Copies of this chain bind each other. A is one copy, B any other.
Amino acid sequence: MTMMKTQLTMPVLMDRGSILAPEVEIVSKMRDRTHRYTYADLGRRARRLADALTKLGVKQGDRVATFAWNGYRHLELYYALPCMGAVLHTLNLRLSAADLEYIINHAEDTVICVDDELLPLLERLAGKIPTVKHIIVMSNSGNKSSVLGPTLDYEELLEGGSEDFSWPEIDENAAMGLCYTSGTTGHPKGVMYTQRSNHLHTISGASIDCLGLSRSDVVMAVVPMFHANAWGLPYICCMMGAKQVFPGATMDGATICQLIQDEKVTFTAGVPTIWLGVMNELQNNPGKYDLSSLKTMLCGGSAPPRAMIDWFETNLGIEFVHAWGMTETSPLGCLNHLKPKMNDWSHEQRLDVKQRAGIVAPGLEIRIVDDAGNEVPHDGVAMGRLLIRGPWIASSYYKDPAPDKFPDGWLDTGDVATIDAEGYMAIADRSKDLVKSGGEWISSVDLENAIMAVPGVAEAAVIAVNHPKWQERPLACVVAKPGATVTKEEIYDYLGKNFAKWWMPDDIVFIESVPKTSVGKFDKKVLRNQFSDFTLPTAE
């Protein structure tokens, strides 16, 4: 051995910002005011917090949950818990009480740190979460009473902690973060990040082929910190000493635009819904905001509409980066940056590429395979199950191995994808939503996107229904916009111009609304149950 076996842990990365950028600001929008402090403050308070939690009995490996919006205290927990060797368990605020109860008990959380305004959501679990010994309320109001029993005040707790707390030696394979996926089938499943996986995700995530962040950036994570590591942003920013801006609970277009302008945000990240809100705000108020500081808008969670990508790039002169990942991938998997040669391509050709999910992050590998496990051509057309491998990809679920998801050392993402000749991956469908017609695959997502482009259509979900000859055929479930009329013929007419004949849905039904999951995604399981006995018209 001639090179150091220094452990790949979080303290060396997290402390870098407070050492090299002690005066750089961290700005948190609260309901009633804006909170500002510096990396030096953050570093001191993270140590106080770690010391106080240690005194409270939190040990290495213990799960400490957060139930909070994006803000400086949540960042302190992101900092202190991994660096002290405990596990940061981010609870999703949008889950049902039943799911939360299951998750907290499955994780055996010992402490929950909760924003005071979110306490009522947690109180639904009173008497049902026996492993939780302490509720710590992050309060701006001093209100601490709760049906959950005695609570601790976050600020009082910190006062009892020491700034001289030293991070312990931690093994790189120790657990450091826990996040549950909200699947539509079965119980939520936990992904347990390790020091090593997150260290590598942070370093690679900073590279120009991923987020390309530096000390000069001002970063606003609109993506909630209760989603997969907030896409790695809190960690990468602390490593780089980049100014951070947190929007708190209000994420409407006007608030986001105002924050970008006021704090001179250069980089922001969120789901398509957020950017739709921003686009609407800007379109409704031309000239109102100066967003000239903004350079990059990262968009993940689901595919952004082509027109929106185009609008932002054309009107704001920014790079709109479509990215793909999942809780199981930490989450940075693929990110869409154009290649230099594409500067010479036409606007539409560039948009064709930008709509795809992007190229694989440095350090990871992706493959697409058919049902027999054979590689599928990288021609942008052939669909295959998307497999991914690398040091920040899950190899099992926490206390729930699910080996089918992890064939031969790869993660089966559950997505069906294409990869084009330039290496850009695009999600075609969730594999369970794919329509398998006579051995050929039809993407429900492609059909839905096309149908939703027909005037008068508000939403469309395409599902597979059983077919005696073709095994499965597509059925389109369409919601019309309020007051609009739209006919089957209009939809078929539009689809006929864009798809092969055998892709055409065998029928189109009009419904009141598409059922949604707790996180707002189409819940096709409900639709499939509803239409399980549906008789398709005979086409031939």
Contact = CB atoms under 8 A, between A and B. Distances in A.
Nearest to A23: B341
Copies in the complex: 2
Nearest to A8: B391
Given A12-B390, A207-B203, A359-B20, A192 B339 contact: no
A207 B207 contact: yes
A104 B11 CA distance: 40
Given A23-B341, A203-B200, A395 B3 contact: yes
A145 B409 CA distance: 49
A394 B341 contact: no
A408 to B, nearest CB: 12
Contacts of A239: 362
Interface string A374-400: 000000000000000111111111100
A337 interface: yes
Given A215-B339, A240-B208, A362-B13, A191 B2 contact: yes
Contacts of A8: 200, 391
A214 B212 contact: yes
A193 interface: yes
A392 B203 contact: no
Interface in A173-205: 173, 175, 190-194, 196-197, 199-200, 203-204
Contacts of A409: 4, 6
A62 to B, nearest CB: 16
A215 B340 contact: yes
Nearest to A21: B339
A398 B3 CA distance: 10
A27 to B, nearest CB: 15
A337 B214 CA distance: 10
A362 B215 contact: no
A1 interface: yes
A216 interface: yes
A422 B209 CA distance: 28
Interface in A298-341: 337, 339-341
B340 A398 contact: no
B362 A4 contact: no
A212 B211 CA distance: 12
A1 B16 CA distance: 28
A5 interface: yes
A120 interface: no
Interface in A82-121: none
A281 B139 CA distance: 65
14 contacts: A1-B173, A3-B394, A4-B389, A4-B409, A5-B391, A6-B389, A13-B362, A16-B362, A20-B422, A200-B203, A203-B207, A208-B213, A209-B214, A216-B340
User: 9 tightest A-B contacts by CB?
Assistant: A208-B214, A2-B192, A3-B197, A4-B395, A20-B423, A6-B391, A206-B207, A3-B194, A216-B340
